[in-house]
Amino acid sequence: MQLMTVSSLNEKIKSLLEATFMHVAVEGEVSSVTYHSSGHLYFSIKDERSVLRCVMWRSNVSRLRFRLEKGQRIVVTGSVGVYTPRGEYQLIAVGVEPSGQGALALAFEQLKRKLESKGYFAPERKQSIPPYPMRIALVTAAQGAALHDMLKIARRRWPLAEFFVIDVPVQGEGAAAEIARGIAYADGLGVDVIVTGRGGGSVEDLWAFNEEAVADAIHFARTPVVSAVGHEVDTLISDFVADLRAPTPSAAMELILPDRNELLLDLDERQERFRRRMAEILAHARRALRREEEALRSLSVASRLRRSAERFETLAAELGRAVTFRLERSGSELVPLRRRIEEQEEQNLRRAWTRLEDLGRALERHNPALRMREGWAEVTRDGKRIPLEKLRIGERFTLTDGVRRVEAECLSNEPLKSGDHPPK
């Protein structure tokens, strides 16, 4: 029997194991996981009877599509390595896949649960899309067919909109970070809506929109964001976070832009309803005006006098009929009654003539034409009648009789002395 040192035995075991198990695939359940600050990943897998320690170096960890969690069933590919100072062996993992489930599908579900727990999908945080957006940012590939389709539909539906194209790669390594930067840049342009997306493709082609960086950019944007990625059957993380999910890029334009033809038809209908309503209002106003005019005429002095005259005539006729009836029944009272009536009428006539004479004399006193014959004229200053004693020396005034107006200037103003009389 050959005597060996511990080191030499470990070296032989290392050579044997690493040469024998260069490429292996091992299935098991994750029993422990440690993401080291160095970027390396340390974990263990187990089955019903054994545990196997595993390590994945940082360069391979960066390519993992999902995060290892305790209890997951996985398939680890790699090689067996031995750490000779401690005589320990472990599986050097090169790749890890979920057992029975794709890595991308698992990564999608993990990120979805994480963002949902952070409130990224909450309906109350979603912003409404303006009904008539005028400035729209399109975060997509400038040479992609999706951009061409979106602009074509936009020009047809709503040519008033102004578009800002932020050119970003939409697939491949680093695309998610570029898309996130594009969304953040568009958010600072003061646009009404941001649309981000691309046309259809495989799960790998669309994966940039399943990255957490894109989800964060959409979540923290102050501007409403529309996710328009792939086809209708494709559902991505960006769809859950965005304020609006469009099944395709073309559908995004259909959803956020009004149709000018529909608006023109709506304006025509509104104009017709407005015309009919204004006609109704004017007709109602005319009817109300006629009612007011009739009410005003009924309240006018002439109308009231006419009604009074009609009432007087009615009363006079009734009085005449009553008198006639009474006279017919009381013939013996005819003479005294007639005398009293004649006396009353005579008194009324005398009073009327007296009043008429008084009015005639008053009219003669105030008639400018009569005053003219008497040598009198009205004195006014600045259009207002003024007594003579109010006139000052040098002040201009106006003399007016029934037929003439004279502009004069006051040369003197003295009261009449005792014994002086005005000219006749």
What is the sign of the dihedral through the CA atoms of 16, 17, 23 and 24? positive
Q: What average pLDDT does the segment 111-115 reach? A: 92
Higher pLDDT, 377 or 394: 394
How far is Cα 71 from Cα 44, in angstroms, rounded to an integer? Answer: 11
Rounded CA-CA distance 297/305 in Å is 12
128-258, CATH topology level: Rossmann fold (3.40.50)
pLDDT digits (tens, 9 = 90+) for 227-241: 999 888 888 999 999
**Rounded Cα distance, 214 and 139, in Å:** 12
Measure Cα distances from 38 to 35, 56, 58, 59, 94 in Å: 8, 11, 8, 11, 17
What is the model's pTM?
Answer: 0.52
The radius of gyration of the chain's CA atoms, rounded to the nearest angstrom, is 56
241: tokens are 């976070």
pLDDT of residue 340: 81
pLDDT band at 390 (very low <50, low <70, confident <90, very high): confident
Query: Which of 102-116, 303-317, 326-340 bottoms out in mean pLDDT, i.e. has the lowest?
Result: 326-340
- Is 230 buried (19+), middle (13-18) or exposed (0-12) by CB count in 10 A? buried
Q: Give whichever of 9-18, 37-46, 257-266 has the largest mean pLDDT.
A: 37-46
Q: Which CATH number fits domain 6-101: 2.40.128.640, 2.40.10.230, 3.20.20.70, 2.40.50.140?
A: 2.40.50.140
**Tell me: the pLDDT tens digits for 236-255?**
999 999 999 999 999 999 99
pLDDT on residue 217:
97
Report pLDDT for 267: 85
Question: Residue 291 and residue 284: Cα distance in Å, rounded?
Answer: 11
CB proximity list for 128: less than 8 A, separation 6 or greater: 224, 243
239 C-beta neighbours (distance < 10 Å), count: 22
Burial class (CB in 10 A: 0-12, 13-18, 19+), 179: buried
The sheet that has 193-198: what strands, in order across it?
162-167, 135-140, 193-198, 225-229, 244-246
Backbone angles phi, psi at 415, to 5 degrees: -70, 155
Token pair of 87, please?
Answer: 């005589």
pLDDT class of 351 with cuts at 50, 70, 90: confident
Output the six-digit token pair for 343: 């006396």
Average pLDDT score over residue span 33-51? 91
Q: How many CA atoms lie within 13 A of 27 on its CB side?
A: 5
Report which residue type is found at 314.
T
pLDDT number for residue 370: 55
196 within 8 A of 179, measured Cβ to Cβ: yes
